[in-house]
Structure 1
Amino acid sequence: MVHEPPTHTVERSLRATLGAKVIAGVDEVGRGAWAGPVTVCAAVTGLRRPPDGLTDSKLLTVKRRNELSGVLTGWVNSFALGHASPEEIDELGMTAALRLAATRALDLLPVRPDAVILDGKHDYLGGPWRVRTVIKGDRSCVAVAAASVIAKVRRDAMMAELGVDYAPFGFEANAGYPSPVHRAALEELGPTPLHRLSWAYLDTLPRWQHLKKVRETVEAGETGEQLGFDF
């Protein structure tokens, strides 16, 4: 299936309506994983023509994604990554953890954005940022698509490196997401320090249910099963 390439339509609209000059596209990866951080990339691209083949990272092969990420890191005006750890996810809940990771990424940019394009329907970032949410923004908006690819490649590499010490879990292949290998290792060995202990997968592992962390306030849609998986 051929997908339309992303455009600068939203960026141009924000320039016209808000007078925004520096606009960051923001996308996350790792939200539906059982292990590892949630990672957010903020990318500022300007209005230049994007590299050929740029689209949502989920639509690209691993090889093409890695190639494109290498091109993008030199092509974008700037980018930065922010992470929220498994411990922070367990303590704060996913919505607040996403906000924390996104704020960290935006704060690391060399110039503060005048506006932010956030992939998805819900604004998990909020003030003081001026946010425009765009459903499937990682396919339609150049800056968000760039952030999508960079975030995915960088987090996958991080999980492969962290996974060296936890070989049975297959993090180099599944990046902490659900998979048969991952589940089999969990059933036999239990969760590692990289695992989110408030996640619903522990409810199905009788040997390890006692490790589950339960917060007093549970945000709607915050478990991996409810959120869906962004492979």
Structure 2
Amino acid sequence: MPYEPPTHTVERSIRARTGARIIAGVDEVGRGAWAGPVTVCAAITGLRRPPEGLTDSKLISPRRRDELAAELERWVTAHALGHASPQEIDDLGMTAALRLAACRALDGLPVRPEAVILDGKHDYLGAPWTVRTVIKGDRSCVAVAAASVIAKVRRDALMAELPQEFADFAFADNAGYPSPVHKAVLEERGPTPYHRLSWAYLDALPRWRHLKRTRVPVSAEAAALESGGQLGFDF
């Protein structure tokens, strides 16, 4: 089924309404995974014509997605990635972890965006950023679509590079998301240091249920200051 290519309509609307010229598209990947970080990409594209075939990363074949991510990283004006580790997700909850990862991505850009286009209907970013949320922004907005593809490819690569001792979890194939292989190995071996231990999947694993964490909320600022517990992720 063909999809309409993304446009710069949202960017142009923000420019006309606010005068902002530096606008970042932001998208995340890894929200529904059992293992691994949540990853956010912030991309600044300007109003140039994007590479052919750009759309929501989930609609692109893995091979083409890898090729397109490499093209996009050369094409965008700037981009940066931010991650929140499994431990930070457990400590903060997903919404605050998303904000932490998004702030890390935005702070990693060489210039500070004057406005941010966030995929979805919920603003998990908030002040001091000027945010416009766009449902299905990864299909309709060039900057968000670019962020979607880069985030997906880079997080998949991160998961594929986890230590060989965890190869039977097939992270290179499932990227930490639920799958029959992932669940079967979890039942046999239990969670790794890369798993989120506050998540409900542990309720269905009687042998490992005792490992489930009850989240004690901490502030995002405190979590950002803690450099430990990232367990091999290079972020």
TM range (shorter): over 0.9
Cross-structure match for 1:41: 41
State how far apart, in whole Å, the 1-side matches of 2:141 and 2:165 are. 38
1:190-210 residue CA offsets vs partner (Å, 9 max, x unmatched): 000000000000000000000
- Deviation of residue 57 (structure 1)? 0.1
Q: Residue 91 of structure 2 contacts residue 216 of structure 2 at CA under 8 Å; is this kept in 1?
A: no
* CA distance, structure 1, for counterparts of residue 48 and residue 164 of structure 2: 39
Q: Does 1:84 align with 2:88?
A: no
Q: State the AA in 1 paired with 2:145.
A: A
> Offset at 1:215?
1.9
d(CA) in 1 for partners of 2:172 and 2:55?
Answer: 23
One-letter amino acid of the counterpart of residue 177, structure 1: Y
For residues 146-200 of structure 1, what are the alpha-carbon distances to aligned partners after superposition, in whole Å with 9 as ceiling and x for unaligned?
A: 0000000000000000153301100000000000000000000000000000000
Extract structure 1 runs of 4+ deviating beyond 3 A.
Answer: none
Aligned residue for 2:167, secondary structure, equals helix
> Where do residues 1-231 of structure 1 align in structure 2 (5 Å cutoff)?
1-216=1-216
CA distance in structure 1 between the aligned counterparts of 2:199 and 2:18, rounded to whole angstroms: 40
Structure 2 unpaired stretches of 5+: 218-235
Moved more, 144-153 or 165-174: 165-174
CA RMSD of aligned residues (A): 0.7
Query: Could you tell me the TM-score, scaled by structure 1's length?
Result: 0.93
Give percent identity, aligned residues only. Answer: 78
**Partners of 1:163 and 1:172 within 8 A in 2:** no
Q: Is the 8 A contact 2:197 2:213 kept in 1?
A: yes
Q: 2:129 is aligned with what amino acid?
A: W
Query: Following the alignment from structure 1 to structure 2, what is the Cα–Cα distance between the partners of residues 76 and 94?
Result: 28
Count of aligned pairs between the two proteins: 217
Q: Give distance in 2, aligned partners of 1:180 and 1:106.
A: 35
